[in-house]
Chains A and B, each alone.
Chain A
Amino acid sequence: MAANALSDRTTRQRETPSWLAYRAVYSVVLVLLAWEIASRTALINPFFMPAPSLLVVQAVKLTLQGELLPHMGATLLRALGAILLAIAIGVSLGIAMARIAAVRWFFDPLISLGLPTPKIALWPIFVLWFGFHDQSKIYLTTFACAFPLVSATYLATRDVDRYLLWSARALGTGERRMLWKVIFRAAVPDILTGIQTIIPFAFILIVLTEMLSGGIGLGSMIMLAGRLADIPTVLVGVIGASILGFAVIRLGEYLRARVLVWHEETTDHA
């Protein structure tokens, strides 16, 4: 579910000729065109699948009325907040689990029990504890995203090349310096992959909790429009959420390349 959709991103960058990328754009345009024609000729029900051009018109209208951007902003801020919180908690807990036996003993069964269970089921509890506003949405999303991140960080830190550690120790590296200069650096690529994996989950969960609670946010806008059978607005909201998620996924890929400037993964095809 990470950012590597149909092929591994690093190999794609290296191998895909640019004409293939253009072809991908063409085929997407083709799909949109087919949708437009099918909807206009009522081949598909235009009430449920309004033509893309109508959606663009609706998006512009909502933006001019000031009814789209505030929702998108609220969703974006909540998702970013939840992602940052999940990184802070997940990465530190994952490293602690890999380094400290007592922490590992306590959290290992909790993580392995919690990882495959649907955290969205806890929504009523989070509402009871934190109310209907920002907190419950952000905390539930943080909680759900922390599990895969703890697991990714733990595995990445645990599996750091032992020869690397031995060499550093032989060269007189202290334990604290070792954690920061050797272990963390060696684990960073896999930790970043873990972070990139939770980005789409975070957006889905924020939109979902907004749908369950009302107020401001794309999810609430979608739910309200749905009750009024205003399908163009629903679809504009869904596309808006997709664009936000896509933009943050791209941001993550960009930051990864910046953070890993020193890593072979980046320098290889520079």
Chain B
Amino acid sequence: MARLGVEAFRYAPLVLLVIAWELAVRYGVISPNFLPEFSAVAGTLWALTLSLELPENLGISMYRQAAGFSLAVVIGVALGIGMARVRAVELAFRPLVTLWYPVPVVALFPVLVLILKLGDQLQITVILLGSILPVILSAYNAARGVDHYLAWSALSMGTSPERLLWKIVLPAALPGILSGIRVTLALSFVLLVASEQLGALGGIGAFTLSAGENGFYTGMFAGILTIGLVGFVADRLYLALIRRLLSWRDEE
């Protein structure tokens, strides 16, 4: 119970803010044309959930996010470790990564639309291209940082190169890789919403933008609250996953 009290005290500012929002609009401090009452937004959120409009768009978006993000993680980790361990891979990809680094990928959206046309593949590609770099860089740096003595000892005791990768390099590089993936997770949501606002067939970002353009402001706020909540929950779930994956380490 004491813990519950602490948590309640901790999150009280959020509740206060919502109450202030509700009262400020209700008593005319802020015009409802600028900010609909919180209760009205909550009502719309409920109605849109029951009518399945919100869950359907959210489902479309989550499919795109999951696909783009997983591809970025798998390809990024493979490339990063490859660049760190195999000289030819580094020579081939380092200049590409250097060139790619400062490019704002969302700005390539108009070209990608022309190549890929509207559809899930468009959003997935934007997420993949735009969020892969932090994974590559953290995997590269982490795999390079793996203690040489660790690798040498394993090799001298007869570990095969393949076993070395799975049993030594990957576990030793894991903490660094996981923190890079957290950045990519947050980035993937930004890219998802941005690319859906720029042009998409359905999805929560497109829904929110068109609600705003049509003056359906309670729907717009409901959509934005949903996006924020999903991003936050994804981050918390990821942190919990990291803690489990790294529970074998003695530090922390």
Contact = CB atoms under 8 A, between A and B. Distances in A.
B102 A242 contact: yes
A265 B17 CA distance: 42
B14 A48 contact: no
A106 B13 contact: yes
Interface in A70-123: 105-110, 113-123
Contacts of A235: 111
Report, as a range, how many residues of chain A touch the other chain. Answer: 35 or more
Contact of B98 (A5, A105, A123): A5
Given A5-B98, A6-B98, A245-B102, A128 B14 contact: no
A1 B224 contact: no
Interface in B82-111: 91, 94-99, 101-104, 106-111
Contacts of B229: 117
Contact of A128 (B34, B110, B190): B34
A212 B94 contact: no
B193 A242 contact: no
Interface string A200-226: 100110011001100000110011011
A231 B193 contact: no
A141 to B, nearest CB: 12
B193 A120 contact: yes
A241 interface: yes
B69 interface: no
Contacts of B98: 5-6, 24, 27-28
B101 A5 contact: yes
Interface of A is mostly: helix
A43 interface: no
B14 A109 contact: yes
A138 interface: no
Contact of B95 (A28, A115, A125, A211): A28
Chain B interface SS verdict (over half): helix
Interface in B1-27: 9-11, 13-14, 17
A216 to B, nearest CB: 16
A226 B113 contact: yes
Given A6-B98, A28-B98, A109-B14, A238 B107 contact: yes
B87 to A, nearest CB: 13
Q: Which of B14, B96, B193 has the most CB of A within 10 A?
A: B193
Contact of B227 (A5, A117, A225, A227): A117
The 5 closest A-B pairs by CB, nearest first: A226-B110, A124-B212, A116-B235, A27-B95, A117-B231
11 contacts: A6-B97, A27-B95, A31-B95, A110-B17, A113-B228, A118-B192, A121-B193, A127-B212, A200-B102, A208-B104, A235-B111
Interface of A: 1, 5-7, 24, 27-28, 30-31, 48, 105-110, 113-125, 127-129, 200, 203-204, 207-208, 211-212, 218-219, 222-223, 225-227, 229, 231, 234-235, 237-239, 241-243, 245-246, 249
Given A124-B211, A242-B102, 16 more contacts: A5-B98, A31-B96, A116-B231, A116-B234, A117-B227, A117-B229, A118-B189, A121-B208, A124-B212, A125-B212, A125-B224, A127-B212, A200-B102, A208-B106, A219-B107, A226-B114
Interface of B: 9-11, 13-14, 17, 34, 91, 94-99, 101-104, 106-111, 113-115, 134, 137, 140-141, 183, 185-186, 189-190, 192-194, 197-198, 205, 208-209, 211-213, 217, 220-221, 223-224, 227-229, 231-232, 234-235
